[in-house]
Chain A
Amino acid sequence: MRKFFLAAILTFFSLPALAAGGGDVVLKHKDWSFNGIFGTFDKASMQRGFQAYREVCAGCHSLNYIAFRNLADLGYNEAEIKAIAAEYEVMDGPNDEGEMFMRAAIPADYFPAPYPNENAARAGNNGAYPPDLSLITKARAHGPDYLYSLLTSYKDAPAGKDVPDGMYYNAAYSGNMIAMPQPLYGDDVEYADGAETSVSAVSADIVNFLMWTAEPSLESRKRIGVATLFFLIVFTGLSYGAMRFIWADVKKKAA
């Protein structure tokens, strides 16, 4: 019967991995600070990633599920958040005259999208749709590694491979032809903390930022998880002791 149990455990661990489906591309694996059961976010890197998102990606990609108030998680204080929000304009209304109007954003507002709708986004990108990035690291298999690889794998197409107009060769993208032009070339941003601005460094910052946008509760989840598991393991030990104690007379009679 032990085999039985092993088999059950094996199914449990192998099937979902299979269901997730393999890709035809090789990913670059990185040791992210948020990996592992004690993983935490790297706040400095997330702030840099946020800056890179704003200055590079936000022209095409929305961030629909993030409000300015959420930026507190990155370590910004209230005044800083207000100042960041005020740099954006959002539509509000209708006012007393029944008109919609633009006003400066406040912390409760969500990040405005670069395009009013999908059709406008496609019209601005050769018919391709730049997806919302809020959940992107959870919406792809091995999301963080995938995103990092995608941003760092623009290359010249191998000889003999035709790259159609408006398409770009990317070794990490399934099929290798992506409609997104290479967004990072190195030194695309200037960091206030003087951190490195190579393509790979900025890409890693963006991954740290976008992992947070996808899973803002990650840190508290792992923290509560460690405490819960500690409690449960102690409880398991206690209930095992209690069971042995209660069963002692039955076992004695049987022996």
Chain B
Amino acid sequence: MSATKFSNPVVSWIDHRLPIFSAAEHFASDYPTPKNLNYFWNFGSLAGFTLVVMIVTGITLAMSYTPHVDYAFGSVERIMRDVNHGWLIRYIHMNGASFFFIVVYIHMLRGLYYGSYKAPRELLWIIGVTIFLLMMATAFMGYVLPWGQMSFWGATVITNLFSALPYVGDAITTLLWGGFAVDNPTLNRFFALHYLMPFVIVGVVMLHIVALHRFGSNNPLGIDARGPQDTIPFHPYYTIKDLFGLSVFLCIFAAAVFFFPNFMGHPDNYIPANPLQTPAHIVPEWYFLPFYAILRAVPDKLGGVIAMFGAIAVLFVLPWLDRSPVRSAKFRPIFKIFFWVFVADCLLLGYLGAKPAEGIWVTLSRVGSIWYFAHFLIILPLLSVIETPRPLPQSLSQSVLGGSGAMAGAAAAPKEKA
């Protein structure tokens, strides 16, 4: 890493003392990347893009937003009506949150399908789950800010959950509220935290990328790249592919922002918060629905809270639950079936989270929740032992870009680690 690497003398002088240009080159340019990544590998950069969009629109909103119970709703309406293009900024931020979750959910399912959480990428996965948790907290607090009916009642329901914790529960809820109910102090601290958390996410995303670059991307075959014949430089190949993915994403995102901006929202949030009037159904934003269903599936409040957080906690230990040495579902016929059943189960739970907690819906939620945990705690550990994986290809370059005839070494053991 010599200073002569850059022809521009200023760049070279700076880089010798502060190697930011080398770092940039390492991270974005000559970073070797598997040749065979499919479009599911676009979602990481899309998530990063969405995070930046959220921060830019969020800071712009904050310039005209008033965190006070008497003015918050009105200030958001001022943004919609009197701030130049305020409606656009607000609709981007509002829909951006939903698209952030769509992108991240696809990103995570990609990891589940191709076994990206397995050695040596366990920490990368764990950091990712941490980002997911921080995102949920950020989005939850952001949804409270416009101070509509769902803002208020969603905040009330969710903050109340913490009171179920033994010993510390009441202290935690009082701390969250800044008093004895959701009120002005709650709104103020949620605004402060909602402003802070995205920057914490930026920090954790950096860790995520450092961890990623240690071993590079996984790939649809789930076997390691063995040398230069298996990889291509990130730039220009994946920069242009990410750009293409981004433009497709932007088309869909723009269609939502400009033509269906309130489709993913709840109409009740256009009614100012009223602590004296409970809405008929309190439903969280769609991206929380599967977890909400798990929460309500347990008859006991504390049990429900534990189950809900447990649903995320199992993701942290996933690398040690699935012990199969084969990463990609492509070579795991039984795992593949259970993967799709799991996806269906999450969709079912999302559906149930929007239904009233009564009758058949509760029963179904229980079945769905049990399956969710069984998938991680029973099925995956069991499959690691009983499933016979299909033979793995010898190397990436032999079966690159859809060529399926290149299964050399068909009888070789599935262990592919170099």
Which residues of chain A are near B268, meaning CB under 8 Å?
139
CA distance A138 to B77 in the complex (A): 12
| A3, A16, A37 interface centre (most CB from chain B within 10 Å) | A16
B102 near A8: Cβ-Cβ < 8 Å? yes
Of the listed stretches B179-187, B245-253, B312-320, chain A binds B245-253
A136 to chain B: closest residue by CB: B270
B243 at the interface (CB under 8 A from A): yes
A15 near B35: Cβ-Cβ < 8 Å? no
Of A19, A20, A21, A232, the contact of B254 (CB 8 Å cutoff) = A232
A140 at the interface (CB under 8 A from B): yes
B283 near A250: Cβ-Cβ < 8 Å? no
Q: Which of B213-251 contact A (CB under 8 A)?
A: 232, 236-237, 240-241, 243-244, 247-248, 250-251
Given contacts A4-B343, A232-B250, contact A139 B351 (CB under 8 A): no
CA distance A131 to B271 in the complex (A): 9
Q: When each residue 130-169 of chain A gets 1 if its CB lies under 8 Å from chain B and 0 otherwise, what string results?
A: 0100110011110100000000000000000000000000
CA distance A239 to B400 in the complex (A): 23
A65 near B38: Cβ-Cβ < 8 Å? no
| B270, B397, B403 interface centre (most CB from chain A within 10 Å) | B270
CA distance A15 to B348 in the complex (A): 10
CB distance from B314 to the nearest CB of A (A): 21
B106 at the interface (CB under 8 A from A): yes
A65 near B354: Cβ-Cβ < 8 Å? no
Q: When each residue 271-309 of chain B gets 1 if its CB lies under 8 Å from chain A and 0 otherwise, what string results?
A: 100000000110101100100000000000000000000
CA distance A16 to B351 in the complex (A): 9
CB distance from B279 to the nearest CB of A (A): 10
A11 near B259: Cβ-Cβ < 8 Å? no
CA distance A170 to B102 in the complex (A): 40
B347 at the interface (CB under 8 A from A): yes
A100 at the interface (CB under 8 A from B): no
B113 near A4: Cβ-Cβ < 8 Å? yes
Of the listed stretches A74-82, A83-91, A202-210, A222-230, chain B binds A222-230
Interface of B is mostly: helix
Which residues of chain A are near B261, meaning CB under 8 Å?
221
A243 near B267: Cβ-Cβ < 8 Å? no
CA distance A232 to B249 in the complex (A): 10
CB distance from B79 to the nearest CB of A (A): 11
B258 near A217: Cβ-Cβ < 8 Å? no
Number of B residues, CB within 8 Å of A: 59
A239 near B243: Cβ-Cβ < 8 Å? yes
Given contacts A7-B343, A233-B251, contact A225 B257 (CB under 8 A): yes
CA distance A214 to B267 in the complex (A): 12
Q: When each residue 151-187 of chain B gets 1 if its CB lies under 8 Å from chain A and 0 otherwise, what string results?
A: 0000000000000000000000000000000000000
CB distance from A119 to the nearest CB of B (A): 12
Given contacts A4-B113, A19-B286, A250-B35, contact A139 B271 (CB under 8 A): yes
A65 near B77: Cβ-Cβ < 8 Å? yes
B258 near A225: Cβ-Cβ < 8 Å? yes
A236 at the interface (CB under 8 A from B): yes
Given contacts A15-B351, A20-B267, A139-B268, contact A232 B262 (CB under 8 A): no
CB distance from B75 to the nearest CB of A (A): 12
Interface of A is mostly: helix
B16 at the interface (CB under 8 A from A): no
Of A228, A236, A254, the contact of B35 (CB 8 Å cutoff) = A254
CB distance from B35 to the nearest CB of A (A): 6
A192 at the interface (CB under 8 A from B): no
B248 to chain A: closest residue by CB: A236
CA distance A16 to B263 in the complex (A): 7
B132 at the interface (CB under 8 A from A): no
B281 near A221: Cβ-Cβ < 8 Å? no
A232 near B247: Cβ-Cβ < 8 Å? yes
Which residues of chain B are near A3, meaning CB under 8 Å?
340
B382 at the interface (CB under 8 A from A): no
A19 near B266: Cβ-Cβ < 8 Å? yes
Q: List 15 A-B contacts (CB under 8 A).
A: A1-B113, A4-B109, A11-B347, A11-B350, A19-B283, A20-B267, A21-B283, A21-B354, A37-B259, A65-B77, A139-B271, A217-B87, A236-B244, A246-B237, A254-B397
Q: Which residues of B contact A (CB under 8 A)?
A: 35, 38, 40, 74, 77, 80-81, 87-88, 91, 102, 105-106, 109, 113, 232, 236-237, 240-241, 243-244, 247-248, 250-251, 254-255, 257-259, 261-268, 270-271, 280-281, 283, 285-286, 289, 340, 343-344, 347, 350-351, 354-355, 397, 400-401, 403
Given contacts A12-B102, A19-B285, A251-B401, 16 further A-B contacts (CB under 8 A): A1-B38, A4-B109, A4-B343, A7-B344, A8-B109, A15-B354, A19-B289, A65-B77, A141-B267, A174-B280, A225-B254, A225-B257, A229-B254, A236-B251, A247-B240, A254-B400
